[in-house]
Amino acid sequence: MNLLVLAAETENPLFPPIPELVIGLIAFVIVFGFLAKKLLPNINKVLDERREAIEGGIEKAEAAQTEAQSVLEQYKAQLAEARHEAARLRQEALEQGTALKEELRAEGQRQREEIIAAGHAQIAADRKAASQALRQDVGKLATDLAGKLVGESLEDHARQSRTIDRFLSELEEKAEAAR
């Protein structure tokens, strides 16, 4: 059959022959069937997996970063604490040192004053004892001398001066002995 005749018969390129409609439908259904039933679900699953993998990776990275941050903060805190502690210890040591020095100085002062006071007391006591002894000795000497002077009845001037000399030398001896 001549196709030109057929074209003239149908006269209309907009009039679809049934066999071509059927083949068109079959061809499309083949494509749709494969894509919709198998291939697109396949790729959708993988796309979801990929998204999850990416999101998981991001989450993991975020977690790691958070942890690193917290560890860093912890370290910083510890470092600050250590510094603080060191400063405190230094301060304390300084204070202790100062206190100790102060104490020692006070002690030294006290001891010095004690020693001085003791010296003064000793001196005073010595002087007192000396003056007491002196007074006693002078009194006794005076009495002795007077007794002797009176006992010798003052024979002569020469004797007198001998007696006095003797007395004085005795006195010197005593003083020697006392020393």
Partner 1 sequence: MSPDPTQVLAFETDCHIFEGCGFPGPGLHSFLFEPLWGEAGLTSVYFNKPMLLALLGSIIIVAFFWVAFGKPKVVPGKLQMVAESGYDFVRRGIVYETLGKKEGEKYVPFMVSLFFFVWILNVWSIVPVAQFPVTSIIAYPAILALLVYATWMSVTFKRHGFVGGLKNLTGYDKSLGGVLPLVMVIEFFSNVLVRPFTHAVRLFANMFAGHTLLLLFTIASWYLLNGIGIAYAGVSFVMVLVMTAFELFIQAVQAYVFVLLACSYLQGALAEHH
The residues of the shown chain that bind partner 1, judged by CB under 8 A, are 1-4, 6-7, 10, 13-21, 23-28, 30-32, 34-36, 39-40, 42-43, 45-47, 49-50, 53
CB of 30 to partner 1, least distance (A): 4
Output 10 or 143, the one with its CB closest to partner 1: 10
Output 10 or 132, the one with its CB closest to partner 1: 10
CB of 61 to partner 1, least distance (A): 18
Output 42 or 96, the one with its CB closest to partner 1: 42
Distances (CA, A) of 3 to 16, 21, 103, 170: 15, 19, 131, 186
Quote the CA–CA distance of 63 and 7 in Å, as a whole number: 73
The token pair at 59 is: 């989450």
CA 136 to chain centre: 71
**In the chain, alpha helices (H):** 3-10, 18-34, 40-151, 157-178
Output 26 or 178, the one with its CB closest to partner 1: 26
Output 12 or 153, the one with its CB closest to partner 1: 12
Q: Is 67 exposed, middle or buried (0-12, 13-18, 19+ CB in 10 A)?
A: exposed
Q: What angle do CA 111, 115, 117 make, to 5 degrees?
A: 115
CB of 82 to partner 1, least distance (A): 48
CB of 32 to partner 1, least distance (A): 4
CB of 1 to partner 1, least distance (A): 6
The token pair at 14 is: 């907009």
